[in-house]
Amino acid sequence: MERNNHPRGTRNSRREKKKRVFSKKLAFASILTISIILICGGVYATYAMQHKPKEASELEDNSDFEQKEAALLTKIRDSQKQEELESTEQEKTEGNIQTLTYEPAASDSIPQLEAIKTELATLMTATEKDSSKKTAIKLVGHIKMLKINDQVIGYQPVVDTYTWDYNDEDWSEKTEMGKNTAFVNQKTKQPLTLQDIFMSEANILAVQQVIEQTLLSESSDGNAIIDSILNMPEISLDGTAFTYYSDKISLGLPENPTGKTEITLPYKDIAGYINPEFVDPTAIQGALPEPLDPNKKYISLTFDDGPNPETTPRLLDILKEKGVKATFFMLGQNVVKHEALVKRVAEEGHEVASHSYSHPQLTSVDAQRVKDEVQKTDKAIYHAIGKLPTDFRPPYGAVNKEVAKIIGKPIIQWSVDSQDWQSHNAQAIIKRIDETAYNDTIVLMHDIHPETVDAVAAVIDCLRNEGYEILPSKELLGKKAKPLHMYYGSKDERPVQ
């Protein structure tokens, strides 16, 4: 084995040499790093000095700021002068924030002015609190007039915030609208009411039907809550909270199983029950069918007391073959027994309506019995087709105002009686309708009689030969029949007495 014969002194010399080289490199790296830091720091300092936000005190000597401030104030004041709502200005300045508040000069023109002013003041205070104290700010509070149409004017609190941007050297703008708008009936100069919009108890009852169906449709299990929905207290013209919009309305709801405290209905969904003068016309455009052609003849075929598993299917086959849609006023007790048949009636485009549950004369029973007859049928039909019936035909046509109020649906009577219930003869039925039919009328028949079904094809042919177009009763009445009213045809509407 060879030995390492290098003396120890030589190894130490090499080690010292390496240390000196490393020290030089470390010193050079340190100097380089410090130099880079100094250079970057200098660049940043120069940039920061050039872009340093000016304090408000520095703006006093900034002629460009002063010119743009003057131009902004001129723009704000000119804009207010051009508003239809004449106003007076109140100005105050605290620190960097200048506040301009505009209040209507004619305070008596806005009955809710104090409430609007309170909301405007609250909005101004909140905006000022959230604003920066280190820059120039203009807060402009005013009440904006919104002209919905000739009958409705709205007044809404608005706050415009103008903030001076030091980098762009100009004003940025942000607008915040108040949550509440006060609407005024231009006829009465009073706050807008549900009476203005819906006009009558009959119309608000019709809206109640829409609310019930909407709540059921939005529920995951309508059948589980239908009793509570049908027994929910009615909304009223004078006791219901509401929020008005030009294209819809939000109505406060009584306690109900859905937990909803209000419901919003587009006007197009309730177009037949509102005063069009108080809504945006575009909101209900096309919502109702075109009026019937005055140069044409119309008639409606209606069938009572079904459905009947022996006769109703055959009737549906005939109607389908002839391309006719009719209205079926069904008994709840028969609906429960023949749900599939009820579903077929609806699926084939016919109207499913109510004729009570067991066919009593409703004017001769107590109020609770009337309510039960109506609600049990509503539930049966809803269970069958997922929709509540909207129209009602009282057995024997017997109804008075008290009964009509409990029913809460349009009362569809008839003007042409086929007397099929009396004759039980197909030819007699055909002859009777042919001799008594006239324009815009409703024909009464019963789909539980075989002879009626035997006569229907010929009845349809005779009516068409005489120039009639056959419509379901809802379409004949323009989809705007309302509770507390009876309908014998499209031109024969009578309040229930």
Q: Is 446 a catalytic residue?
A: yes
Q: Is 304 a catalytic residue?
A: yes
Q: Which pLDDT band, with edges at 50, 70 and 90, does 41 fall under?
A: low
Domains and CATH numbers, the chain: 62-181 (3.30.565.50), 194-283 (3.90.640), 297-495 (3.20.20.370)
Burial group, residue 465, by CB count within 10 angstroms (0-12, 13-18, 19+): exposed
pLDDT at 7 over 60: no
446, 447, 449, 485: which one is catalytic? 446
pLDDT at 410 over 70: yes
For residue 2, the model assigns a pLDDT of 42
Residue type, position 315, single letter: L
Q: Which residue has the higher pLDDT, 25 or 59?
A: 25
142, 196, 304, 391: which one is catalytic? 304
The stretch 450-455 carries a mean pLDDT of 98
Q: Note the pLDDT tens digit of each residue in 325-334.
A: 999 999 999 9
> Cβ distance 416 to 276 under 8 Å?
no
> What percent of the chain lies above the pLDDT cut of 90?
79
For residue 23, the model assigns a pLDDT of 59
Q: Which pLDDT band, with edges at 50, 70 and 90, does 166 fall under?
A: confident
Helices (H), 199-324: 201-218, 222-230, 312-322
For residues 312 and 343, what is the distance between their CA atoms, to the nearest angstrom?
A: 12
The stretch 396-402 carries a mean pLDDT of 98
> What percent of the chain lies above the pLDDT cut of 70?
88
Share the mean pLDDT of the chain. 90
Which has the closest alpha carbon to 254: 232, 225, 236?
232
Structure tokens at 220: 């995951």
Residue type, position 472, single letter: P
For residue 107, the model assigns a pLDDT of 72
Instruction: Give the helix, strand, coil percentages of the chain, each rounded to 5.
Output: 45, 20, 30
What pTM does this model have?
0.81
> Cβ distance 381 to 466 under 8 Å?
no
pLDDT at 6 over 50: no
Q: Note the pLDDT tens digit of each residue in 12-22.
A: 555 555 556 55
Q: Note the pLDDT tens digit of each residue in 326-364.
A: 999 999 999 999 999 999 999 999 999 999 999 999 999
pLDDT at 72 over 50: yes
Q: Note the pLDDT tens digit of each residue in 171-225.
A: 999 999 998 899 999 999 999 999 999 999 999 999 999 999 999 999 999 999 9
> Cβ distance 350 to 330 under 8 Å?
no
Measure CA 273 to chain center. Answer: 15
